[in-house]
C-alpha cells in the first residue's frame, strides 16, 4: 500500500519483482483492495494506474476573505488529484472548481466555504458549500423576482450576475453544461442538470445540512468531454462572443404544463436581449396560448429584431400556435404599413 502512490503505473511489475509472485497473484490482491475501497484503478490494460482511495476523498474548510484564491486552493489541495486525470477532465474540473469557489467567495455573503471531493467508481464528485444567504434568495432579491424558484430560470439563461463589475455571469452557465451532472440545493429549491440524459429538473427540497448553498458537480473520469466544445456551442463563430443560449421553458415559475399568459412569456424572455440567438426548449410543455406567443414572437421580436429565436421539442399544437402567431404578426405589420 505504501508504494501505490509513488508507483501508479508500474506497481504490478514492482510487486512481482519485490515478492517473486506472478502477475495474476498481484492482480488478485489489487482487485481485493479495490473491492475493499482501499485503492482506485484508472484506465484499462497497459494504461492502468492505481491510487490510494483516500487521495481522492477530501473535505476542507476555508474562511472567506478578500485574498482567498480559488486557484491557490486547487493547486495546494487538489493538484494531486489533477495529475491522475486525463487532460480534458482536468481542464473541466479546474474550470468548474475555480468558478464555483469564486462564486461562493464573491456572492454568498457567507463567512466559510466547505469543499469536498470524492471518487465513486469512474465518477469524480466535487461539492462547494457556503453559509451565506443562499444563491436563489440572493438572485431573487437582487432582481426583484417573485419567487426563489424563478431564480433557477433566470440563472439557467447565462449572463446573470449580481456583481457586474467583477463577474460576467458565465460560470454556472458553462459549468452546468461542461460536467456530467450539476446540482444546486439552496433556499428549499433543488436544481439538477443531467447532461448524460439531456434533462433539467427543479423541485422543492429541504436542505438538511448546515450550509445555505450546496453546489455539486460530477464527471466520469473516462469521458471524452471537452470544455472547448461547450464554449463553441454558445459562441458566435466569428466574434467568439458568448451570444447564444438555450432555455428550458418548463423551468419557469409555473408548475403547469401549458403556458398561456403574457406574464409567463415576460418571465421567460427577461434578460434575453443580451443574446443574439435564443433557443426555446418546449420539452414537457403541452400547449401555449395566443398571448404567450404574441409576447415572444411579436412584442419581443419588434423590440429586438436582430435576435434570432428558434424552438425545439415542440408538439403539433405548439407548432400551430407559434405559426399562427407569427403569421398574425406579419399581417398586422403589413396592415399598419398600408395605413401609413
DSSP state of 261: -
Whether residue 72 sits in one domain with residue 19: no
Q: Which CATH number do you get for residue 79? A: 3.30.565.10
2 domain residue, yes or no: no
- Which residue among 179, 212, 230 closes a domain? 230
Question: Ramachandran region of residue 329, left (φ > 0), alpha (ψ -120 to 50) or beta?
Answer: alpha
Task: Give the model's pLDDT for residue 337.
Answer: 60
Whether residue 96 sits in one domain with residue 164: yes
- Which residue among 175, 201, 230 closes a domain? 230
- Which residue among 181, 211, 230 closes a domain? 230
Whether residue 31 sits in one domain with residue 88: no
163 domain residue, yes or no: yes
Q: How many residues does the chain have?
A: 340
Whether residue 311 sits in one domain with residue 162: no
171 domain residue, yes or no: yes
Task: Give the model's pLDDT for residue 98.
Answer: 97
Whether residue 177 sits in one domain with residue 105: yes
d(CA 272, CA 289): 21
Task: Give the model's pLDDT for residue 40.
Answer: 62
Q: Which CATH number do you get for residue 251? A: 3.30.750
pLDDT < 50: residue spans in the chain? none
Task: Give the model's pLDDT for residue 268.
Answer: 93
Whether residue 101 sits in one domain with residue 26: no
Minimal CA–CA distance to 117: which of 217, 39, 46, 199? 217
The grid coordinates listed for 178 are 461542461
334 domain residue, yes or no: yes
Whether residue 203 sits in one domain with residue 91: yes
80 domain residue, yes or no: yes
5 domain residue, yes or no: no
Whether residue 290 sits in one domain with residue 246: yes
The grid coordinates listed for 141 are 432579491
User: Per the structure, how many domains does the chain have?
Assistant: 3
d(CA 158, CA 285): 22
C-alpha angle 202-195-199 in degrees, rounded to nearest 5:
40
pTM (2 d.p.):
0.81
187 domain residue, yes or no: yes
The grid coordinates listed for 21 are 509472485
Q: Which domain holds residue 24?
A: 11-53
Whether residue 88 sits in one domain with residue 206: yes
d(CA 154, CA 208): 25
Whether residue 136 sits in one domain with residue 84: yes
Whether residue 242 sits in one domain with residue 212: no
Task: Give the model's pLDDT for residue 154.
Answer: 92
d(CA 172, CA 143): 17
Whether residue 75 sits in one domain with residue 134: yes
Amino acid at each position: 500500500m505504501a508504494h501505490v502512490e509513488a508507483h501508479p503505473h508500474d506497481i504490478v511489475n514492482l510487486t512481482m519483482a519485490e515478492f517473486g509472485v506472478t502477475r495474476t497473484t498481484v492482480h488478485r490482491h489489487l482487485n481485493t483492495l479495490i473491492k475493499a475501497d482501499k485503492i482506485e484503478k484508472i484506465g484499462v490494460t497497459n494504461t492502468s494506474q492505481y491510487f490510494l482511495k483516500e487521495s481522492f476523498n477530501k473535505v476542507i474548510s476555508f474562511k472567506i476573505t478578500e485574498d482567498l484564491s480559488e486557484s491557490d486552493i486547487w493547486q495546494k489541495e487538489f493538484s494531486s488529484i489533477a495529475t491522475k486525470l486525463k487532460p480534458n477532465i482536468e481542464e473541466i474540473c479546474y474550470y468548474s472548481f475555480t468558478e464555483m469557489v469564486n462564486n461562493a467567495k464573491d456572492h454568498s455573503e457567507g463567512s466559510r466555504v466547505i469543499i469536498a471531493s470524492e471518487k465513486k467508481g469512474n465518477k469524480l464528485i466535487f461539492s462547494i458549500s457556503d453559509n451565506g444567504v443562499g444563491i436563489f434568495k440572493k438572485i431573487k432579491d437582487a432582481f426583484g423576482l417573485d419567487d426563489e424558484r424563478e431564480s433557477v430560470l433566470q440563472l439557467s439563461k447565462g449572463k446573470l450576475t449580481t456583481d457586474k463589475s467583477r463577474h460576467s455571469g458565465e460560470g454556472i452557465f458553462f459549468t452546468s453544461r461542461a460536467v456530467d451532472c450539476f446540482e444546486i440545493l439552496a433556499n428549499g429549491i433543488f436544481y439538477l442538470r443531467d447532461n448524460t440524459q439531456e434533462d433539467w429538473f427543479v423541485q422543492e427540497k429541504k436542505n438538511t445540512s448546515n450550509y445555505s448553498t450546496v453546489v455539486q458537480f460530477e464527471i466520469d473520469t473516462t469521458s471524452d468531454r471537452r470544455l472547448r466544445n461547450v464554449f463553441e456551442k454558445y459562441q458566435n463563430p466569428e466574434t467568439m462572443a458568448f451570444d447564444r443560449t438555450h432555455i428550458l421553458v418548463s423551468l419557469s415559475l409555473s408548475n403547469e404544463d401549458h403556458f398561456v399568459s403574457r406574464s409567463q412569456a415576460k418571465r421567460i424572455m427577461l434578460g434575453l436581449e443580451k443574446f443574439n440567438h435564443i433557443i426555446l426548449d418546449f420539452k414537457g410543455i403541452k400547449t401555449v396560448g395566443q398571448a404567450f406567443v404574441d409576447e415572444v414572437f411579436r412584442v419581443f421580436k419588434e423590440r429586438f429584431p436582430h435576435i434570432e429565436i428558434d424552438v425545439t421539442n415542440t408538439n403539433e399544437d405548439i407548432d400551430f400556435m407559434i405559426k399562427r402567431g407569427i403569421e398574425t404578426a406579419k399581417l398586422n405589420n403589413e396592415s399598419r404599413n398600408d395605413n401609413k
